[in-house]
Structure 1
């Protein structure tokens, strides 16, 4: 479905079910050079088990119009505006990587609107190496290859994710190329990485969050190491940490573990 936010059409995948604002709602926020599709298993399950699901493409990414957010704070304000545009009194926010920082900042800015917060593959600070920032502009194919090397701990996912024999490195690279090409005016690779690198409000935002927070971390995550998430969790009021056997691409490397952790946390 499309939701008008500040005059821009924003795409949201609903898990194959009609949107119903009266249901409890989960909003999924992707990371850099990703889109709604990275949540495919988790969103479809929740949508068919009593939840309203909105897995968005961020502005200027994939199927969404608008200008890509240049900072985490700008992206958080967009998420708050999205909740208002969808006429949601409250929703759970689930974010991965860059999306986790966006969800965190949104929950801190509008605590009354957020019932649960899930930070998947998160870290604070989320610094990006100067070499990777430079490559995202001058040699994006090289940067995409680098990110995929460090994001995955296995070649193929379990059948419950993308199907038997799926090549995670190849499918992820194809997705990243597609999202990069979806915006001819802005390099969303560099913009997203720069926003992560520049974000300086993580600890203060975490302390301002009122709702329960789940930290979903990958045991083999080289992009956002588990120790970084655990350090951020010390600033949370109501924190739960679940570690799964995966790298940074938790949702496809350990789809069932991620789903069950989400299901149990949202039901509590």
Structure 2
């Protein structure tokens, strides 16, 4: 963390790499079924090549992308324009993008969450879409990225394939620390303070609790409630370490803040 000044610095430290992995999409069918046990589509060798030329500029170069024209996209990145929308957030070892509010007429409420450990990057994407007077979970995507600039490539994780309940039960009683970040903050998250020991009921809050590859797990509502709500996403980034990201929305469906808990055995 020496020399870190703010969100841009954390972004560089987290995302610098040539990240390659299969994109596994779990998308609701035309019949309205969302099967989280088997991906509806797999895009092999999705690549996010993120490089920095100096302290302030770089390039984002992607391929194997589901929503981009031709499956590719390329964007310059810089400290001057980073996070002008306020959607991006960074902790040391975790970062992504979040919709700041559920806005009627916007059609999509979405999140990208990345958990880093060494040269692994575990990414989970959540997408709700607007249907008449409600917002329904339409798709989840998971990518077990590994940085191909480093050798040897880091292995897959032991928890892959275990049921969500079993994965969460293994974490019971682990101790951790809590950090917070508020929308609009451009500095570092709050200083870590002691968190309550891990308890399943503090993670498994919603109707859908599902585990995926690379130690990724989430507990999210199928239908966004009319009241305040919290999204929980986590990743067992190592055998003795679990990261939990909480996205906390108020009664007006505005993102109040992010919380990151890091638990250790």
| TM-score normalised by structure 1 residue count | 0.26
Select the structure with the greater relative contact order (CA < 8 A; seq sep ≥ 6). 1
| TM-score normalised by structure 2 residue count | 0.27
- Between Structure 1 and Structure 2, the one with more helix by share is 1
- Between Structure 1 and Structure 2, the one with more strand by share is 2
